[in-house]
Amino acid sequence: MTTFYERLQQETETERQYLLSSPLIVAAMKDGITHAEYVAFLEQAYHHVKHTTPLLMAVGSRIPEKNEWLREKIAHYIEEEVGHQEWILNDIRACGGDAEVVRHATPSLPVELMISYIWDFVSRRNPAGFFGMVYVLEGTSVNVATQAADKIRASLSLPKNAFSYLYSHGSLDIEHIDFFEGIVNRIDDAKDQADIIHVARIIFRLYGDMFRSLKS
């Protein structure tokens, strides 16, 4: 019998390939990318990662009582994710960038749309949809983060402390994706499942657009 996690993978594969075929990801996995491209990626990563903990808090506050088990899982996620945006700013500093300028900057259009979309979905439609975004971001980290970090570091000769975000998420998200799989396989409501798949499809596209905006 197919699990919901397996369905989620199968029904979002086209959109996943759209993300993974982004020129910046392809280059990062092959020959590496430029210093400017890496810093630009970190800048945009900061602008969506800083929303992770507030989004988790919002989702937790909207979970119905019948799914109290899910609220407990979200509390665990919050403990794991809090403060990760500061890792990214530290990486930017290690690359010679101005972290405070990034902190107060405006995100690119794809990131602005991605964050606005998920906040709207959680607040107005269904908080369970947030797990579609979790699948995209953590699944991508597992697939590319550590390998990309090795390639970029080698090509740019940057110190290891310029890659704390990628290295930590490559290893952390292996654990997280197993945790995530256990969560979504317990979600048996048909509407929740449909919304998670729908959100994943949208976020794959918007996240892919973010990467495409960084390299033509």
Domains in the chain with CATH codes = 4-214 (1.20.910.10)
The pLDDT of residue 32 is 82
* Number of Cβ atoms within 10 Å of the Cβ of 69: 10
Q: Which two tokens stand for residue 8?
A: 């989620």
Segments in the chain forming alpha helices (H):
4-11, 13-20, 23-30, 35-49, 52-62, 68-81, 84-94, 99-103, 109-120, 130-140, 146-156, 164-184, 190-214
141 DSSP 8-state letter: I
Is residue 99 within 8 A of residue 165, CB to CB? The reply is: no
Is residue 111 within 8 A of residue 125, CB to CB? The reply is: no
Q: Which two tokens stand for residue 17?
A: 């390939």
Is residue 39 within 8 A of residue 92, CB to CB? The reply is: yes
Please, which pLDDT band fits residue 31 given cuts at 50, 70 and 90? confident
Region for 105 from its dihedrals, namely left if φ exceeds 0, alpha if ψ lies in -120 to 50, beta otherwise: beta
Q: Return phi, psi of residue 21, to 5°.
A: -90, 5
What's this model's pTM, rounded to 2 decimal places? 0.94
Q: Which two tokens stand for residue 118?
A: 């998920």
128 DSSP 8-state letter: G
**Residue % of the chain over a pLDDT of 70:** 95
Q: Which two tokens stand for residue 102?
A: 């990034």
Is residue 89 within 8 A of residue 46, CB to CB? The reply is: yes
3-class state of residue 75 by DSSP: helix
**Residue % of the chain over a pLDDT of 90:** 77
Q: What is the pLDDT of residues 128-180, one digit of tens each?
A: 999 999 999 988 876 788 888 889 999 999 999 999 998 886 555 556 678 88
